[in-house]
């Protein structure tokens, strides 16, 4: 019994010496991607933002491609995914990271302007990106890779820096869902940072709940 135990110890040591001395670049993260928060359909591919990163699925071939923090992403708790005018994929995370993927170069890059904030949704509008945050809505310039401005007061009926959980743009109008009601404005207005530029809809205006 004792000799068998010693043999197992020696076998373990031999295995560790051969396979266990992995370098930093040898690690692989395996994350669950069962919880899909957002998805988009582009041609024959479905791209999904999940609790464990991002994956794409080619429908005709049945091929999956997974992305996490060991092959391009800076975070894994993805909340939303969007595609811009150039065909790049943008992903927003719960910890404030934004990553974008260029299908041509097959590389991921990151934006850290919103670290520390919760990103709920992304909406591409021309060469800009509307970002739904826990403090309102930010307008991000895709070409210049910089924040243009942040709208923290979306009307007089909503609290300042309210969580914006969803955004939709219809023609030139912006619709924002919040925990306190709906806010609506337009790109045709000169100053979206002014609360009077936003119209609010709450239970007072007929919503069943805020």
Here the contacts of 192-196 (C-beta below 8 Å, separation 24 or greater) are 192/139, 192/149, 192/151, 193/149, 193/150, 193/151, 193/152, 193/153, 194/153, 195/153, 195/154, 195/155, 195/156, 196/156
pTM over 0.75: yes
Amino acid 29: pLDDT: 65
Q: Measuring CA to CA, how many Å separate 153 from each of 115, 157, 173, 197?
A: 20, 9, 17, 10
Amino acid 32: pLDDT: 81
pLDDT band at 76 (very low <50, low <70, confident <90, very high): very high
CATH, range 34-136: 2.120.10.30
pLDDT, tens digit, for every residue of 152-193?
999 999 999 999 999 999 999 999 999 999 999 999 999 999
Residue range 72-85: average pLDDT?
Answer: 96
For the chain, where are the alpha helices, taking DSSP H only? 2-15
pLDDT, tens digit, for every residue of 33-56?
889 999 999 999 999 999 999 999
Domain boundaries, the chain: 34-136, 152-210
């Amino acid at each position: 019994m004792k000799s068998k135990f010693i043999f197992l110890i020696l076998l373990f040591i031999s295995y560790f010496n051969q396979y266990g001395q992995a370098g930093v670049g040898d690690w692989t993260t395996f994350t669950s991607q069962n919880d899909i928060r957002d998805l988009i359909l582009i041609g024959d591919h479905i791209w999904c933002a999940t609790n464990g990163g991002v994956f794409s699925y080619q429908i005709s071939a049945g091929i999956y491609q997974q992305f996490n923090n060991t092959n391009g992403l800076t975070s894994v708790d993805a909340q939303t995914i969007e595609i811009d005018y150039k065909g790049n994929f943008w992903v927003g995370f719960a910890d404030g990271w934004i990553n974008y993927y260029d299908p041509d170069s097959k590389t991921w890059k990151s934006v850290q302007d919103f670290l520390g904030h919760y990103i709920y949704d992304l909406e591409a509008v021309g060469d800009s990106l509307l970002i739904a945050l826990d403090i309102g809505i930010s307008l991000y310039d895709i070409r210049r890779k910089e924040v243009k401005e942040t709208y923290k007061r979306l009307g007089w009926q909503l609290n300042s820096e309210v969580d914006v959980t969803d955004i939709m743009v219809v023609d030139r109008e912006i619709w924002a869902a919040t925990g306190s009601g709906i806010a609506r404005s337009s790109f045709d207005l000169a100053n979206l940072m002014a609360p009077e530029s936003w119209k609010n809809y709450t239970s007072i205006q007929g919503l069943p709940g805020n």
